[in-house]
Amino acid sequence: MKTALDLVAAAKARVSEIPVSEAEAAIREADVLLDVREGDEFANGHLPGAIHASRGMLEFKLSSTPALTARDLKVVLYCKTSGRAALAAAAMQDMGYLNVKSIAGGFDAWVAAGKPVVKPEMPSFG
Q: Which fold, 4-110? A: Oxidized Rhodanese; domain 1 (3.40.250)
Domain ranges in the chain are 4-110
Burial class from Cβ neighbours inside 10 Å (0-12, 13-18, 19+) for residue 117 reads middle
Please say if the pLDDT value at position 27 is more than 70.
yes
Percent of the chain with pLDDT over 90: 94
Residue 123 pLDDT > 80, yes or no? no
Instruction: Name the pTM for this structure.
Output: 0.92
d(CA 75, CA 96): 12
Helix axes 4-14, 83-94, angle to 10 degrees: 60
CA pair distance 104, 110, nearest whole angstrom = 9
- Is pLDDT of 122 > 70? no
Quick one: which H or E segment has residue 9?
A: helix 4-14
Amino acid at 108: D
